[in-house]
Structure 1
Amino acid sequence: MTAALAIGAVELRRFFRDRSNIFFVFVFPLLMVLVIGLQFGEQSGQSRVAVAGGDSALRTAVVAELETEDVNVTFDDADDVREQLARGRSDVGVFIPAEAADAFEAGEDVRIEIVTADRAGSPATMQKVRTAVQAVGTQQSQLAALTGAGLDEATAHDALTRARETVQPPVVEVLDTDELAQEFSGVGQFEVGAVQQMLLFVFLISLAGSATLIQARREGVIARTLAAPVSARHVIGGQVIGRFVIALLQGGYIMLGTTLLFGVTWGDVLLAGLILSVFCLVAAAAAMVIGSVMDNDSAASGVGIGVGLVLAGLGGSMLPLELFPDSLRTVADFTPHAWGYEAFAEIQRHDAGLMDILPSLGVLAGMAVFLLVLGSWLLRRSLARAL
């Protein structure tokens, strides 16, 4: 076991000796997470309302009600608000003309315009806006009734404030029947991209790193290792350990970096680590297969990158699985990325436990065992030919 660990440590040093690997392991993945997260817009998991209209008591009252519902409110002119709605940057636009603001001050009927965008979360946000506007109208009517009964405005305001503090308001729960909206409900801006890029780069870097195994065979590193009192079993084990540690460092770094920089929530830490470990084992075993079958390290790097990108695309690491048609979704189940994506989605979005993700872990473990057996057999054959 000591010999296998020593060989694994050598493989790790050989991998990081190539400085280009440092960029692709530590810098590029986080840049990709940032770019994908920005495509979802700021605070994509939060309702967004754009308000057009000058500063007025009506606008202040409506915005205050919206903010109590955890709605992200921005202010702009009417043309810019319409552009935001057209581009999907806001869920709802509220247009408050000067006439409406003046009517509100005078205690008269108010007419404002509310426009929704063509987004999955717009209906729920629209309901929040309607509730906020109705609440403002109700408060204005109550204030008018109290002042009409002889109270001065300040006393009426105080009475309404005390009433709101003592009376429990009814709770309205808005249910979205759209399955896609439900699936991504509460998902943070960077969480989907973080999972996708973590799975993509762990597998991609592992397959591209198969070139070091070919170099070790061609340059006689493995042959010299076997000249020592080290068995072929230890050599194979060391190669697996080295690639597994590289993949684990890559995945762990992305998880930690996205947590610290982008506030990504990975769910239960132990379960996330377990999913990552099993997926890394699949990636390490796949790298063993390529590194044992091919004899040209440059060709192996190209094949590894090509295969890694294809599997990532089919497995949901470039487009979320929830957006796949049924036929392509079936194809995705043949990739380890899809099972890793589903397992992470369960613990991130649904607080799943071990039993909930056990099917995904079982499939990944089966893939790892199959590829490990195949890769070990192929490497043993290549070592026998070298001897």
Structure 2
Amino acid sequence: MKRIWTLAVMEWKRMFKKPQSYVVMFGMPLLFTFIFGAMFSGGGERAKPQIAVVDQDQSVVSEALLEKLEGSELMNVVGMSLEEADQSLADQNLSGYVVMGDSFEESVLAGMPDVSFSYLPAFEGASVLSNWINNRLVEVAIHAEAASEYAALTDASFADSFVKMAGSSDGGERTVQTVNVTTDEEIQAMDNVTARSAGFAIMFVMIAMLSSTGVMLEAKQNGVWYRLLSTPASKMEIVLGYLLAFFLIGWMQFGVLMIASSLIFGVYWGSVLGNIVLVSALLLCTIGLGLFIAGFVKTSEQQSMYGNLIIFSTCMLGGVYWPVEIMPDFMQQMAEFVPQTWAMDGFRALTAGAGTFAELAGPLAVLLGFTVVFLSIGMRRIKFE
């Protein structure tokens, strides 16, 4: 283990001895995040999404949900007819709209709320708003159920009972108190700056890892590899030393980018533990990809050329530069076969959802699957004589 660690530290020092490494690994990702994040958000400041609400029921229950939506700090709410909302969304004057059907009250009491949320494909805050709206809908449903029971016991009208349960508009005391488990501060939309920050962190980490794994080819070209083989270290220890160095360098880069983007752009990354697991899986996949490419080329220059071509093209497919949803259907299907798509899905789950391991299970499984395939083929094709 000592030999493995010694080799890893040696490679670490070699990487960070070059001044250009700091520019490529840290400066460029932050610059690209600023440019593309501002480009897709329409400016440097984050604007609240414009959401229309279509109330076709006009009942006390639908009005209660509308009141909750209008009180949200996550969005600007406007009332519209369905036709107006459709046209405004088509003209991209709205980020999305919520429709409460004409049987909304009855459907809530039946336990199957008649409500829908339509949004632009490029609106990356849709996931968090959908979750938030669902939470408010649950609150309204609880009040409606309580009002129904109260009306049955007292012969009062449902409308009066609902107002009593939910609390009157003049600030009267609430009979039913709902506690929100998820606070507004914890509900963070994966807006364009956040998405681009995650995307460019992925891309530049992959570029750095590609450069790092090319060191093994370079070592064979300049004779360093053969000098290492003449030491007491075994081939396995040498290989593991390099792999550990690549992993630590990748984590150093990703960690610094996460902290810097949080401080500079206010990016919310979600669960720390979830990020540790997801980033580790991504780094293993990227190291595997680097070794996979190294197994099919002769020199480090060839690996850099073909590797960059692969990384840039797959990053375009995987939603690094722009949302996958705005691409044609056939390209969205192709995106399912690149690691960046699944890494972005994982970060989206962490930043816009609850970030549970159940939500991360799919992206993690696919990334680790890519890792096994890449490492298996790469280690077989690279000659470690």
> Is the TM value for this pair above 0.5?
yes
Counterparts in 2 of 1:373 and 1:5: CA distance versus 1, 3 Å: farther
Which residue pairs with 2:119 in the alignment? 178
Q: Distance in 2 between matches of 1:9 and 1:177?
A: 52
Matches within 5 A, 1:1-387: 1-39=1-39, 40=41, 41-47=43-49, 70=73, 118-119=91-92, 121=94, 176-178=117-119, 180=121, 181=123, 182-183=126-127, 185=129, 186-379=189-382, 381=383, 383-384=384-385
C-alpha deviation, 1:375, in angstroms:
2.3
Question: Could you state the TM-score of these two structures normalised by the residue count of structure 1?
Answer: 0.65
Percent of aligned positions with the same letter in both sequences? Answer: 23
Please give the per-residue CA displacement for 1:62-110, whole angstroms capped at 9, x wherever unaligned. xxxxx9864999xxxxxxxxxxxxxxxxx99xxxxxxxxxxxxxxxxxx
C-alpha deviation, 1:301, in angstroms:
1.7
Q: Distance in 2 between matches of 1:307 and 1:200?
A: 11
State the SS of the aligned residue for 1:370.
helix
- The answer on whether the counterparts of 1:4 and 1:234 sit within 8 Å (CA) in structure 2 is yes
Of stretches 209-218 and 342-351 in structure 1, the one that deviates more from structure 2 is: 209-218
Please give the per-residue CA displacement for 1:151-179, whole angstroms capped at 9, x wherever unaligned. xxxxxxxxxxxxxxxxxxxxxxx974226
Which residue pairs with 1:54 in the alignment? none
Counterparts in 2 of 1:42 and 1:311: CA distance versus 1, 3 Å: same
Q: Distance in 1 between matches of 2:340 and 2:273?
A: 19
State the SS of the aligned residue for 1:340.
helix
Name the Cα RMSD after superposition: 3.1
- The answer on whether the counterparts of 1:285 and 1:371 sit within 8 Å (CA) in structure 2 is yes
Counterparts in 2 of 1:19 and 1:292: CA distance versus 1, 3 Å: farther
C-alpha deviation, 1:287, in angstroms:
1.6
Task: Write the letter of the residue equivalent to 1:20.
Answer: Q
Task: Write the letter of the residue equivalent to 2:332.
Answer: R
Of stretches 238-247 and 259-268 in structure 1, the one that deviates more from structure 2 is: 238-247
Which of the two has higher C-alpha Rg? 1
Counterparts in 2 of 1:331 and 1:68: CA distance versus 1, 3 Å: closer
Aligned length: 281
C-alpha deviation, 1:35, in angstroms:
0.8
Task: Write the letter of the residue equivalent to 1:289.
Answer: F
Please give the per-residue CA displacement for 1:203-238, whole angstroms capped at 9, x wherever unaligned. 122113333222211122121111111111111111
Q: Distance in 2 between matches of 1:345 and 1:71?
A: 17
State the SS of the aligned residue for 1:248.
helix
Counterparts in 2 of 1:68 and 1:359: CA distance versus 1, 3 Å: closer
Q: Distance in 2 between matches of 1:316 and 1:225?
A: 41
C-alpha deviation, 1:332, in angstroms:
1.0
- The answer on whether the counterparts of 1:48 and 1:71 sit within 8 Å (CA) in structure 2 is no
Counterparts in 2 of 1:212 and 1:250: CA distance versus 1, 3 Å: same
Q: Report which of the two has the higher share of helix.
A: 1
Q: Distance in 2 between matches of 1:309 and 1:69?
A: 39
- The answer on whether the counterparts of 2:92 and 2:120 sit within 8 Å (CA) in structure 1 is no
Counterparts in 2 of 1:242 and 1:378: CA distance versus 1, 3 Å: farther
Counterparts in 2 of 1:315 and 1:229: CA distance versus 1, 3 Å: same
Q: Distance in 1 between matches of 2:96 and 2:324?
A: 24
C-alpha deviation, 1:378, in angstroms:
2.6
State the SS of the aligned residue for 2:257.
helix
Counterparts in 2 of 1:122 and 1:7: CA distance versus 1, 3 Å: closer
Q: Distance in 2 between matches of 1:326 and 1:359?
A: 21
Q: Distance in 2 between matches of 1:300 and 1:356?
A: 35
Counterparts in 2 of 1:122 and 1:203: CA distance versus 1, 3 Å: closer
Task: Write the letter of the residue equivalent to 1:32.
Answer: F
Question: Could you state the TM-score of these two structures normalised by the residue count of structure 2?
Answer: 0.65
Task: Write the letter of the residue equivalent to 2:37.
Answer: G
**Unpaired segments ≥5 residues, structure 2:** 52-69, 79-87, 99-114, 130-188
Q: Distance in 1 between matches of 2:248 and 2:295?
A: 19
Counterparts in 2 of 1:3 and 1:244: CA distance versus 1, 3 Å: same
